[in-house]
Amino acid sequence: MEEVVRLEGLWKLYGGNPALRNINLTIPEGSMFLLMGPNGSGKTTLLKIVLGLVKPTRGVARVLGLDPWKKRHEMFKRVGAMLERHSMPKWTTGRRILEYLAKLKGLREPRKEALKVAKIFEVDEYWDRNISTYSAGMLRKIAVAHAFLGDPELIVLDEPMVTLDKQTRLILRNIIRDRKDRTYIVSSHVVMELEEIATHIAVLNRGRIVIAGSIRDVAEKLGLNRIMIKTSNMERALRILVEKEYDVRASSGKIIVETAQSPKILLELLEKENIEASIEIVEPSVWSIYAKSLLKQ
């Protein structure tokens, strides 16, 4: 699998204060890469470097084989982005904004491309209205639609789920899930719709990468198992696991246990209580990865 983003020994200083410290990271083609970290951990700065909006103090950054700072105009046509903070002129309409941005990207049929993304995210229902009348959610949907103009190879989304309604969050989730060869980098604290489709994760804290890699590899490094238990005696099995102080939850007739222990130990525990069960290892939740990686620092 080819890499879409490569960062090596990357530092960013603001007035002598490091926002990023020795970042080494690769993002493979076709991945859904989730970027997590506390506020002020450097996530947005990292995304801005990837997009060519901020120059690193030192280190190497390559995006689609290009230096994003020196070749950002070439990269602009191949990358879509939505940053957490976005502003739009109040005196115009959503339609005009999207058509203008499509022209800036050099798309052959800007009106057609603008309408295409407007329909996907259902902003065509109001995009002829003046932007000054839009709610925060409406503005957010226009910003998300902008990121998809021209069917880019790489899409960078900074806190995309904030202020979006449930329907639009599901639309975005399904698009990312069916990504084919497109690569996504998503920074988000709202991960309910994203955790089941994320393939990779990086956790940042105080400008450093705490841990990074595929979900499965990172979980293994942290000693995290997410075990799914199926049994006809759900109530009793749950009671026993709770009494033993396991982290458990019930979902759709299954019990999910997150533990550092092996599945064999859980199975033996239930067998001792004469409970027949089948066990399967599934990928752990990203919140478990996030919490444990910060605790291990």
pLDDT (tens digit per residue) in 26-45: 999 999 999 999 988 999 99
Domains in the chain with CATH codes: 3-219 (3.40.50.300), 223-295 (3.30.70.790)
- Token readout for 123 is 């902003």
CA gap 131, 87 in Å, rounded: 11
What one-letter code names the amino acid at 174? N
What is the three-class DSSP state of 250? Answer: strand
pLDDT tens, position by position, 108-158? 999 999 999 999 999 999 999 999 999 988 899 999 999 999 999 999 999
- Token readout for 296 is 């291990």
Cα(first)–Cα(last) distance of the chain, in Å?
A: 30
Tell whether pTM > 0.95: no
Residue 213, strand partner residues? 201
Under the banding of pLDDT at 50, 70 and 90, the label for residue 1 is low
**For 26, phi and psi rounded to 5 degrees?**
-125, 140
